[in-house]
Amino acid sequence: MVKSELVAILNLKLPELQGKDVALAIDCMVEQMVDALAQGGRVEIRGFGSFSVRHRPPRLARNPKTGESVDLPAKVATHFKPGKELRDRVKVPCGQLTKSL
């Protein structure tokens, strides 16, 4: 799903809102989430999951093509931990996945 599809779905569920208002609300929400993570915080949406940042120490890796050792610097990476409701709804036996709106 891309942002325009999300806006269209929310427009169907909330017909009193215009598409531009829905898009603006999504933009504001994402901006606040990014700001919180950029400050080292955590964003939790109950039932969906939580986003956080994790500090990765420097490490030695290998180039798979040449086998050469490569020093990777320390970095900060985002991490997502799905909530229980999301895990339960996504837990579908293989071969039974269907696309739905």
Shared domain check, 58 and 33: no
Q: pLDDT digit string (tens) for 55-71?
A: 999 999 999 999 999 99
Q: Is residue 33 part of a domain?
A: yes
Q: CA distances (Å), 73 to each of 37, 38, 56, 63, 66, in order?
A: 20, 19, 9, 15, 20
Shared domain check, 52 and 22: no
Q: pLDDT digit string (tens) for 1-55?
A: 999 999 999 999 999 999 999 999 999 999 999 999 999 999 999 999 999 999 9
Q: Is residue 99 part of a domain?
A: no
Q: Is residue 82 part of a domain?
A: yes
Structural domain including 57 reads: 42-90
Q: Is residue 96 part of a domain?
A: no
76: CB partners within 8 A, 6+ apart = 53, 54, 55, 56
pTM: 0.74
Alpha helices for 1-101 (secondary structure H): 3-13, 19-38, 84-90
Q: Is residue 97 part of a domain?
A: no
